[in-house]
Amino acid sequence: MSKIIPVSGFPEWKPGLQVAQERILDVIRTHFRLHGYSPIDTSLVERVESLSAKGGGENEKEIYGLRRLHGLPTDEGSLALRFDLTVPLARYVAQNERELAFPFRRYAIGRVYRGERPQAGRFREFYQCDIDVIGNGTLSLDYDAEAPAIMYEIFSKIGLGDVLIRVNNCKVLRGFLQGFGKDSSLHNSLFSLVDKRDKIGQEELSRIAVEELGLPSDAVESLASFLSTKVPLDAIKETISQLSDNPMYQEGVKELAHVVNKMLELGIPESAIVVDMSIARGLDYYTGTVYETALRNRPEVGSVCSGGRYENLVANFSSRPFPGVGMSIGLTRLVYRLAELKLLKEDEQSFSRVMIANMGSSSAKTASQLAQLLRGAGIACEEYMTEQKLDKQIIFALKKGCTYLLLIGEDELATGSVCVKNLKDRTQKVVPFNDVVQLLV
Amino acid sequence: MSKIIPVSGFPEWKPGLQVAQERILDVIRTHFRLHGYSPIDTSLVERVESLSAKGGGENEKEIYGLRRLHGLPTDEGSLALRFDLTVPLARYVAQNERELAFPFRRYAIGRVYRGERPQAGRFREFYQCDIDVIGNGTLSLDYDAEAPAIMYEIFSKIGLGDVLIRVNNCKVLRGFLQGFGKDSSLHNSLFSLVDKRDKIGQEELSRIAVEELGLPSDAVESLASFLSTKVPLDAIKETISQLSDNPMYQEGVKELAHVVNKMLELGIPESAIVVDMSIARGLDYYTGTVYETALRNRPEVGSVCSGGRYENLVANFSSRPFPGVGMSIGLTRLVYRLAELKLLKEDEQSFSRVMIANMGSSSAKTASQLAQLLRGAGIACEEYMTEQKLDKQIIFALKKGCTYLLLIGEDELATGSVCVKNLKDRTQKVVPFNDVVQLLV
């Protein structure tokens, strides 16, 4: 007999939390589909050289390769587990270019693997839920507004309150930083520093900029003031276009204003959008629009999804440009965090709120017919199939989170009726067999 | 730039086939839930010792372990990918015993990994869709009837025609074989041989039994006749109980008759059940009821799901018995085979049948409002967001498998209407904006 030691970083939920996660997944999947995104479910296994094609990067250091435990080795040595859903997408697009209709909208929901050091709250296996649109050659800026619109809908439906979408454009920040002289390594260092602003705070950011990067104090002040500029949605250009005459900056401002306008057109309310000059998100990846999000009334949950536009990703696999834009929900981290904060209902261990009691063999057939009737009407229900005292059956139903217990005893069998017990409010009524569906719908 | 070489055995579908697979998955998931099964989604990664706990077996030889490509190794060496969903279930049940309500109904849909030699049509990564019920200590025989009832419902809904469920009980065959003397290794060899009967045929089976296993020819004849006994559902005991007086045989016959009776009670039509004395399914795994299936009008598809009852599985992880019964759909193989036989519709690359054309910036806002209206009514639709000639937009819509193209040109904008083109039958009509939902529902 083996002793079971849980593996840190490879999370598994108890049934109640798993049901909560499935409900969130259902909403995500439904809305991805409502917008015409194609489901793509690439293998979890990629060739090592595909994963390494980008060259360097933190994620690559954390790759898990496959190996053979027994038997003759074949090609396992060249295979590894994916660390995100974007590299597989790039590879898939390059490989299936002719089959796809561009702009190619795709969603992917799946697990990814990162060899982090095992420690509490760090995941080595986790779900990502991604939407991306990939253009063939070019991709209209209007698409940059769609992912946040879909994410807004999703979080409205999940019932955690409004999501707040912070949006920026990499060119704006990069262009602004170019105003501090020609030292591009300084720009890069400052860009990475700004990316950490949410974590370290503006004060620490300014200290590092002065003490470690040697930025003159007037430049630091100008940067601090820039990063915290309040930008009204209806006057983006008017508010920030005069802050720098750098051409990249000007292009970024124009794009940003266009994308925000389109976000409003796609139905995101004004109150859910914040233009935030301090969103940087990864130096070598995103090239235009970038998004970061939080729950308005639950900022402690942290980022619920994020993303942006990239111009060069598929370029690792194809000689032609395939620009893209997308967002990703880190589902496992989100569910973990929501559970930690007790924001999820975890008392339902299945999708059924109805249990049909076992009242012995004389009513077994009728009980099964009732179950089939309910399921035919879309009502999930579970038949208790063990002969057992009723109080034990009630304990079972309560443990699973059922609300209704249906009984067909001798009286009900004789009169063609069903006793419907509400286990939550402890009431019960006897109704004709054919009226049960209507009562429970 | 990397050259992309597909990895044999790790299948990926084109969007049209992926949509077809997702539709099948939706049906499977819906019906698993309708019956009150808890969703459990264990990690793909298990400890090597958990996977090896059963001791030996073909699957174990094919285990893929993890290894570190870069960075400091931690515990990867003791981790490996699961080869089925049943071993993880056993481990999960032992680990979470107190949280679970028994009999514990669980469903799992996920990928498993087997290091087969790479060759066409052999999968090293594939989806399984499993339902199992696990009892704590004991499990009523009635549960043996539920999994096939659910599978019957699922295949009815998928629209591939009726599934034919062949059912047997291991004790029947094992008991019968004991009639050939006390040599238990002969019983085992014969049992394994019968398990191959579908593949090799009765003639070859008889030849091997005589020539290789040395079974007397009268015993071979008796076995052949036994294996092809026609057993009417309403007279199982009467037909076969006198064929052997072995106690295990008699117990098996009793169980088989009980389970078939319950299967009928749970709504499986008589025409979908065949009692088949030749179903063996794995010597050391199943201990009672066993099922094998096929599509009635498409036998060439092969087995679509299978399973049975096991008494000892969780025993590798717990000192107490947790008997179980379940069935599994080998989804990847099924979809591959259906596609090969051209039995799946693969021309829809997303879940949207409706595309809203891009008619320029003047109607962009109205077009977005229309999209939101449709989605609010549950109608998936895609907005074309690139300014492009209409014929190119139509080509895009057709490639994705859309039926409807909605246009809001100057006239429609002025009159508050929408032009609805049916791309399949090449008709079109102009309807008021608010009537579009009704037309497309």
C-alpha distances out from residue B84 to A416, B95, B322, Å? 45, 18, 18
pLDDT of residue A283: 59
Q: Do B4 and A67 make contact, defined as CB atoms within 8 angstroms?
A: no
Instruction: Give the position of tokens 């000639």.
Output: B389
- Residue A358, pLDDT above cutoff 80: yes
**ipTM for the predicted complex:** 0.96
Which residue, among B1, B2, B312, would best test binding to A if mutated, counting the most A CBs under 10 Å from its CB? B2
Chain A contact for B266 (CB, 8 A cutoff)? yes
Chain A contact for B392 (CB, 8 A cutoff)? no
Would you state the structure tokens that stand for residue A235, as one six-digit string? 């006057």
Q: Whole-number mean pLDDT of chain A?
A: 93
- Rounded to an integer, what distance in angstroms lies between the CA atom of residue B284 and that of residue B286? 6
Instruction: Give the residue on B whose Cα is nearest the Cα of A142.
Output: B385
pLDDT mean over A194-207: 93
Q: Do A111 and B44 make contact, defined as CB atoms within 8 angstroms?
A: yes
- Residue B320, pLDDT above cutoff 90: no
Q: Do B2 and A49 make contact, defined as CB atoms within 8 angstroms?
A: yes
- Residue A164, pLDDT above cutoff 80: yes
Which residue of B36, B47, B50 is in closest CB contact with A381? B36
- Residue A2, pLDDT above cutoff 70: no
Would you state the structure tokens that stand for residue A125, as one six-digit string? 């296996």
Which residue of B45, B67, B317 is in closest CB contact with A4? B317
- Rounded to an integer, what distance in angstroms lies between the CA atom of residue B263 and that of residue B234? 12
pLDDT mean over B132-160: 96
H helices of B217-363, where?
217-227, 236-240, 247-265, 331-340
How confident is the model over B64-86, as pLDDT tens digits?
Answer: 999 998 877 888 889 999 999 99
Which helix or strand (DSSP H or E) is residue B38 part of? strand B38-39
pLDDT of residue B193: 93
Instruction: Give the position of tokens 């009776």.
Output: B261
Q: Whole-number mean pLDDT of chain B?
A: 93
Amino acid at A109: I
Chain B contact for A320 (CB, 8 A cutoff)? no
Q: Do A34 and B375 make contact, defined as CB atoms within 8 angstroms?
A: yes
- Rounded to an integer, what distance in angstroms lies between the CA atom of residue A387 and that of residue B314? 23
Instruction: Give the residue on A whose Cα is nearest the Cα of B12.
Output: A42
Q: Do A35 and B10 make contact, defined as CB atoms within 8 angstroms?
A: no
pLDDT of residue B314: 75
Q: Do B76 and A64 make contact, defined as CB atoms within 8 angstroms?
A: yes
pLDDT mean over A117-127: 86
Torsion of CA A276, A281, A285, A288, to 10 degrees: 0
pLDDT of residue B174: 93
- Residue A288, pLDDT above cutoff 70: yes
- Residue A312, pLDDT above cutoff 90: no
Chain A contact for B96 (CB, 8 A cutoff)? yes
Amino acid at A176: F
Instruction: Give the residue on B whose Cα is nearest the Cα of A54.
Output: B1
| Lowest pLDDT segment from A85-89, A314-318, B384-388 | A314-318
Q: Return the sign of the alpha-carbon dihedral for residues A258, A261, A266, A269.
A: positive
Q: What is the DSSP string of B271-288?
A: GGEEE-TT---TTTT--S
pLDDT of residue A56: 52
pLDDT of residue B3: 63
Q: Which residues contact B383 (CB under 8 A, 6 or more apart)?
A: A146, B355, B356, B358, B367, B368, B371
Would you state the structure tokens that stand for residue B264, as one six-digit string? 């009928």
H helices of B65-216, where?
86-95, 146-158, 170-178, 184-195, 197-211
**End-to-end CA gap in chain A:** 47
The upper half-sphere exposure of residue A329, i.e. CA atoms within 13 Å in the direction of its Cβ, equals 29
pLDDT of residue B121: 73
pLDDT mean over A280-307: 90
pLDDT of residue A76: 86
- Rounded to an integer, what distance in angstroms lies between the CA atom of residue B147 and that of residue B169? 15
Instruction: Give the position of tokens 């030691």.
Output: A5
Chain B contact for A27 (CB, 8 A cutoff)? no
How confident is the model over B81-104, as pLDDT tens digits?
Answer: 999 999 999 999 999 999 999 999
From A120, A108, A168, select the one nearest A337 (Cα to Cα).
A120
Percent of chain A at pLDDT > 90 equals 85
Buried b (16+ CB within 10 A) or exposed e, B270-292: eebbbbbbbbbbbeebbbbbbbb
Amino acid at A321: P
Which pTM value belongs to this model? 0.96
**End-to-end CA gap in chain B:** 47
pLDDT of residue B2: 56
Which residue, among A2, A50, A126, would best test binding to B if mutated, counting the most B CBs under 10 Å from its CB? A2
Interface of A with B in 171-230 (CB under 8 A): none
With cut-offs at 50, 70 and 90, classify the pLDDT of residue A1.
low
- Rounded to an integer, what distance in angstroms lies between the CA atom of residue B243 and that of residue A393? 40
Which residue, among A382, A394, A398, A408, would best test binding to B if mutated, counting the most B CBs under 10 Å from its CB? A382
- Count the neighbouring beta carbons within 10 Å of the beta carbon of residue B161: 14
Q: Do A61 and B71 make contact, defined as CB atoms within 8 angstroms?
A: yes
With cut-offs at 50, 70 and 90, classify the pLDDT of residue B285.
confident
- Residue B57, pLDDT above cutoff 80: no
Chain A contact for B263 (CB, 8 A cutoff)? no
CB A393 within 8 A of CB A358: yes
CA distance B46 to chain A (A): 8
Chain A contact for B84 (CB, 8 A cutoff)? no
Chain B contact for A423 (CB, 8 A cutoff)? no
pLDDT of residue B54: 64
- Residue B29, pLDDT above cutoff 90: yes
CB A275 within 8 A of CB A260: yes
Chain A contact for B316 (CB, 8 A cutoff)? yes
From A14, A18, A39, A17, select the one nearest A28 (Cα to Cα).
A39
Percent of chain B at pLDDT > 70 equals 98
Q: Do A372 and B267 make contact, defined as CB atoms within 8 angstroms?
A: yes
How confident is the model over A220-241, as pLDDT tens digits?
Answer: 999 999 999 999 999 999 999 9
| Lowest pLDDT segment from B14-28, B32-46, B109-123, B127-141 | B109-123
Would you state the structure tokens that stand for residue B17, as one six-digit string? 């086939």
Task: Name the maximum alpha-carbon separation found in chain B.
Answer: 91
pLDDT of residue A5: 77
CB B171 within 8 A of CB B286: no
- Residue B283, pLDDT above cutoff 70: no
User: Omega before A216 cis (within 30°)?
Assistant: no
| Residue A309 phi, psi (nearest 5) | -100, 140
C-alpha distances out from residue A427 to A62, A381, A421, A424, B52, Å? 56, 19, 6, 8, 50
Chain A neighbors of B382, CB-CB under 8 A:
35-36, 105
| Lowest pLDDT segment from A44-53, A137-146, A257-266, B341-350 | A44-53
- Residue B332, pLDDT above cutoff 70: yes
Print the SS3 string covering B163-182.
Answer: EEEEEEEHHHHHHHHHCCCC
- Rounded to an integer, what distance in angstroms lies between the CA atom of residue A352 and that of residue A355? 8
H helices of A98-216, where?
146-158, 170-178, 184-195, 197-211
CB B348 within 8 A of CB B16: yes
- Rounded to an integer, what distance in angstroms lies between the CA atom of residue B292 and that of residue B279? 7
> How many beta-carbon pairs under 8 angstroms link A with B?
280
How confident is the model over A28-38, as pLDDT tens digits?
Answer: 999 999 999 99
- Rounded to an integer, what distance in angstroms lies between the CA atom of residue A88 and that of residue A93? 9
